[in-house]
Structure 1
């Protein structure tokens, strides 16, 4: 075998990804059982697995966070990262994906999962992560595997390369034929497969499928292409070298078959990982990780965990060098991050203490409070160029949260920051206008689990509601009004008298204040006070108490008293005039209109158009999504009040994969019944 195809040595890190329900956690459990890392095959449904061991995961019977487990296989150490499959939780594990050597993509033989599979493969393709497709649940497959792979091909930019075909008996897969080894194996439930002889029929199927595999490989190798054209059989070493090189380069995606629940196909998968998967040197090169000249270590923080008793743990991959407990770490700019206190290996919810770790290992660094998910760490005081981090998706669901007990206000803010550290796809905003604390995420379930963690892990009882929509008020007509503030209560009194002209401005122009005073009837030093009084009145409009915008005010006349006039008196006069005049200016509500771009598989585009129309949206058009075969981008203008639960409806018509981005576009008048409902709700809240 050539240099490129040689088996790498040292610790390996493998991500297990795939659509929701495809069996990723069960596959991890099968791997741990087969390699002896656990004594018993744990059941996901019964809550006995190493992965999905958090309270929230077991309550919802789904992965809600990346789970990490370590095992040894044939003298090599492997760290597996089991990533959530639901689109709402996938992005929690994105920082971890950057530093893995390879991804095993788990998929069921079900064409309904193609959109979800495409989302996952696209994420790996953008990072150039080598990948293997494990076609799971073959015990339940009722269609021809080659036809299934052809159907799944739309989800992958690189060719799906079938490496194994099933051996059938009574329409059930009882074993497989390895097209590279040219050997047949019979499944044994929860035990290694048994080498068997191929029947004549299976031999013909193997020749045909193997030739298809070699044809695909030859697209990237001229020598192999020439051999096939001349009907010359390539050597086994050459075939494996092609398989290894083209998989590591991301040119092909090998497809293996099995059934994780019965541990079928697990040993062959492990051997492919061992002999064909890339190692840390390839990964460091892919990440453009520099070679330290001083022998220092370089690490990428993949995940942050806040434990109940041990403090913060920073799960990290060592890309260069080695570390020991007590090392001091620095950020990319050379600033000191802190001294590690404790070094641990991670096995699900358990940690195992160690004193040192070498390149390629995935370890947890204890109590580095200033180390955040996605950053690059080094033991060099000079710092290091930060490695690229992946952009997080735009949030699609929001919730205003507050503690039921006022005493938990400060605790809530600190705890939300911890949640966002553990899951960077959670965003927190302190809205200055509404005074609300708003939690943004990737869907209703995403935020529900976050609230469950607040209550279960941190003992904060939470109340939640839809965030307030930032309605505004404006005017349609002009008026002139006098405002007089006069008060006498002994000693100096208060006197301010103004005549102001109020008129509407064009949408988006905001506020303008002018004066056309002549003869000094209002001294210049009071102009600013009148303006401030006018602004005070604009804070709460006459209709529903929303801010008034797009208004011009001119101070045209007034009077003053040499003794009793003051800044405060003229400020009060300006406020009085505005409060009296605004109701006579035909006030009207304004609602924010968002530009919404919806990404959706094109078979759901007509349904999305209907959803947009039902939510008072204006359809601007749609076009093919760039670099996403079979997807559209639907663009529309939609009221912000209609976007709150939009993602729920979009995902219900798109096999759970639709997403959208919304940015503010303009304010628009709201009239009729919709306006009445907003005004009634605002007054009721008052």
Structure 2
């Protein structure tokens, strides 16, 4: 990216623009992690055409930023080194682009490496991505040779030309070409652009950033062969009420429709939003309507509440690495930085106040690694909630959960690197220090059989005493039945006014638990008998008696622990199915079956205890070298094996 900027004069060797502005800088987290962890944008001009370079993270933990980058861009460049293999991470990224029909090209770099083998890498790319991955230039000792200019008789030239002509809208062109007619370069270039725009042909360009070989040819391809914003239709557009209005064209005079693809906090100027303008023109200090409707398009628990509000934006600029270049306006098809959008989140739509619109947001991956945290001090606790809200507004792949059952604050992240970045940003940007805690899984308790219980709460210590006696019978109910309270008292042994008190005491004890402090479920309690005192009986006395009776009955019946199971779908290459199934079995999973998926992959389905899935996002990635992905949804509760139940730490201990 820096080599292209240097080649066009957009920056100098020090990574600065002509006026001395440093643009090729990264945040401290990127330097410490040694990889890109967020979007970076830099523009250049080649042959009087502006090209925005959008650098996206390639690491799986930051796929949210990758998908945001796909919304910001019109074409994707896949960079593979001439001395390395096409790894699984690159294959996964290709599938990401394929799912949204993003036009793609391949750049083979490091031509100067001693072990560079461009032909081998191209062959691997074709094996991985399909036979429509075709070189448009050949690398040689004196530079590159163009396959379309007629400078070579290489057989790959004919293959490339035929692939281009197959996409031509001139239906007779192929017949004329096969018949020996020479096809003009201008026709081939135009049809190449059509083929690339349709994502049906993926050109390959060899490039050496160190020597500059191929940089000009790559830029020529960007200008001549890649689709322009005019050929890139917007996502579907809706009204805030949910009515579809189709798509908007890339027209600076059209209605304003722009999308926030990245949000970042700046300690000096506040929140900065990176915006792709799909239609209309964005100007400084304009009033805009901000719409966020994640839950309308996806699940209600997406972690982002729907919102609609009007705001007045501040300065508008062109993004240039770590800097923003002020602009009088930004037109459709371009990228902009916008200041003072205090309520806008990543994925929100900006539109006109008098004509509010909403773009269908890009789908976000489910964060599957839970990290339980706790504020380190009271001061941190006071700032934590607001800091997390700001981070979640910036990063839709982060989900913040306040688990009411376990009392824990849980961050759902994409992986360990994502977790590290979130915690670093909490500390460095917001001054909040947190400590990680063992994740608690919401367990349940149930009785294992029928039993009787006698509750006697009789105390006399001067003045009014306490007197309540009740007898109950308990029995377990089928899963999901809940709680039933049955009154079979006869003869007024327990006055009618105190029967609800017994039920209240039983319910309170069920919430407190009977074995390890977890809620009791699926239980029928029948009140059969009891005694009351005309003076000393009370509501509280019968609540206590009901709780005592339940504890006695549960001790006689026996109490088992129930643990939650998730239905898991694990997608892996065919050759890894065996190891993945063995690993799931070791996690006490119940295997449900396999399904073949296109591309040599298999979907393994299973029911797995949630306690065994806490670290699965990390373990699966490590064991499959990044090739495996999975989904999880709650399935049901099942009895926990006694060996596991004995290891459960009481809930009150965790809360205390």
The verdict on a shared fold, with TM-score over 0.5 as the criterion, is yes
Q: Aligned partners of 2:49 and 2:333: how far apart in 1?
A: 11
Secondary structure in 2 matching 1:578: helix
Secondary structure in 1 matching 2:430: coil
TM-score by length of 1: 0.85
Secondary structure in 2 matching 1:260: coil
Q: Aligned partners of 2:234 and 2:324: how far apart in 1?
A: 29
Change (3 A) 1:611 1:455: same
Choose the corresponding residue for 1:565, options 534, 537, 541. Answer: 537
Counterpart of 1:265 in structure 2 is 214
Q: Aligned partners of 2:549 and 2:42: how far apart in 1?
A: 70
Q: Aligned partners of 2:273 and 2:234: how far apart in 1?
A: 23
Residues 497 and 573, structure 1, Cα contact 8 Å, conserved in 2: yes
Q: Aligned partners of 1:560 and 1:523: how far apart in 2?
A: 7
Choose the corresponding residue for 1:414, options 366, 381, 386. Answer: 386
Alignment of 1:252-331 (within 5 A): 252-285=201-234, 289-290=247-248, 295-331=254-290
Choose the corresponding residue for 2:606, options 630, 636, 639. Answer: 636
Secondary structure in 1 matching 2:624: coil
- 1:8-61 per-residue CA deviation (whole Å, 9 max, x = no partner) reads xxxxxxxxxxxxxxxxxxxx1111111222211669xxxx99556111110011
Secondary structure in 2 matching 1:539: helix
Secondary structure in 2 matching 1:139: coil
**C-alpha deviation, 1:545, in angstroms:** 1.7
Counterpart of 1:678 in structure 2 is 648
Residues 400 and 464, structure 1, Cα contact 8 Å, conserved in 2: yes
Q: Aligned partners of 2:533 and 2:438: how far apart in 1?
A: 51
Alignment of 1:155-554 (within 5 A): 155-156=128-129, 159-167=132-140, 175-183=143-151, 203-204=152-153, 206=154, 208-221=155-168, 222-285=171-234, 289-290=247-248, 295-331=254-290, 335-384=308-357, 386-554=358-526
Residues 115 and 155, structure 1, Cα contact 8 Å, conserved in 2: no
Q: Aligned partners of 2:202 and 2:277: how far apart in 1?
A: 26
Q: Aligned partners of 1:600 and 1:437: how far apart in 2?
A: 31
Choose the corresponding residue for 1:127, options 93, 100, 123. Answer: 100
**C-alpha deviation, 1:209, in angstroms:** 1.0
**C-alpha deviation, 1:337, in angstroms:** 2.6
Change (3 A) 1:60 1:335: closer
Change (3 A) 1:110 1:645: farther
Change (3 A) 1:335 1:468: closer
Q: Aligned partners of 1:87 and 1:473: how far apart in 2?
A: 38
Change (3 A) 1:611 1:263: farther
Residues 317 and 330, structure 2, Cα contact 8 Å, conserved in 1: no
**C-alpha deviation, 1:512, in angstroms:** 1.8
- 1:267-295 per-residue CA deviation (whole Å, 9 max, x = no partner) reads 11111111222222222456553369985
**C-alpha deviation, 1:89, in angstroms:** 0.8
Q: Mean Cα displacement is larger for which, 231-240 or 221-230?
A: 221-230
Counterpart of 1:612 in structure 2 is 584
Secondary structure in 2 matching 1:53: coil
Change (3 A) 1:210 1:583: same
Residues 114 and 155, structure 1, Cα contact 8 Å, conserved in 2: no
**C-alpha deviation, 1:620, in angstroms:** 2.1
**C-alpha deviation, 1:468, in angstroms:** 0.6
Q: Aligned partners of 1:538 and 1:447: how far apart in 2?
A: 36
**C-alpha deviation, 1:147, in angstroms:** 5.0
Q: Aligned partners of 2:391 and 2:587: how far apart in 1?
A: 32
Residues 444 and 518, structure 2, Cα contact 8 Å, conserved in 1: yes
**C-alpha deviation, 1:262, in angstroms:** 3.8
**C-alpha deviation, 1:155, in angstroms:** 3.8
Q: Mean Cα displacement is larger for which, 592-601 or 672-681?
A: 672-681
Residues 373 and 437, structure 2, Cα contact 8 Å, conserved in 1: yes
Residues 289 and 319, structure 1, Cα contact 8 Å, conserved in 2: no
Q: Mean Cα displacement is larger for which, 234-243 or 346-355?
A: 346-355
Q: Aligned partners of 2:353 and 2:654: how far apart in 1?
A: 60
Q: Mean Cα displacement is larger for which, 395-404 or 559-568?
A: 559-568
**C-alpha deviation, 1:643, in angstroms:** 0.8
Give the paired residue count: 626
Secondary structure in 1 matching 2:232: helix
Q: Aligned partners of 1:355 and 1:152: how far apart in 2?
A: 43
Residues 148 and 161, structure 2, Cα contact 8 Å, conserved in 1: no
Structure 1 position 77 matched with structure 2 position 50: yes
Q: Aligned partners of 2:614 and 2:436: how far apart in 1?
A: 13
Q: Aligned partners of 2:587 and 2:370: how far apart in 1?
A: 18
Q: Aligned partners of 1:499 and 1:681: how far apart in 2?
A: 28
Q: Aligned partners of 2:490 and 2:118: how far apart in 1?
A: 90
Residues 325 and 340, structure 1, Cα contact 8 Å, conserved in 2: yes
**C-alpha deviation, 1:537, in angstroms:** 0.8
- 1:164-201 per-residue CA deviation (whole Å, 9 max, x = no partner) reads 22215xxxxx5221112244xxxxxxxxxxxxxxxxxx
Change (3 A) 1:571 1:157: farther
Q: Aligned partners of 2:349 and 2:143: how far apart in 1?
A: 45
Change (3 A) 1:158 1:539: farther
**C-alpha deviation, 1:112, in angstroms:** 4.7
Residues 336 and 381, structure 1, Cα contact 8 Å, conserved in 2: no
Q: Aligned partners of 2:114 and 2:345: how far apart in 1?
A: 43
- 1:504-552 per-residue CA deviation (whole Å, 9 max, x = no partner) reads 2223323222111112222333222211111111123332222222222
Q: Aligned partners of 1:176 and 1:234: how far apart in 2?
A: 22
Change (3 A) 1:661 1:535: same
Q: Aligned partners of 2:234 and 2:530: how far apart in 1?
A: 75
- 1:403-447 per-residue CA deviation (whole Å, 9 max, x = no partner) reads 101222231111111111221111110111111110011111111
Residues 531 and 571, structure 1, Cα contact 8 Å, conserved in 2: yes
Counterpart of 1:15 in structure 2 is none
Counterpart of 2:621 in structure 1 is 651
**C-alpha deviation, 1:339, in angstroms:** 0.3
Q: Mean Cα displacement is larger for which, 421-430 or 402-411?
A: 402-411
Change (3 A) 1:276 1:218: closer
Counterpart of 2:635 in structure 1 is 665
Q: Aligned partners of 2:654 and 2:223: how far apart in 1?
A: 66
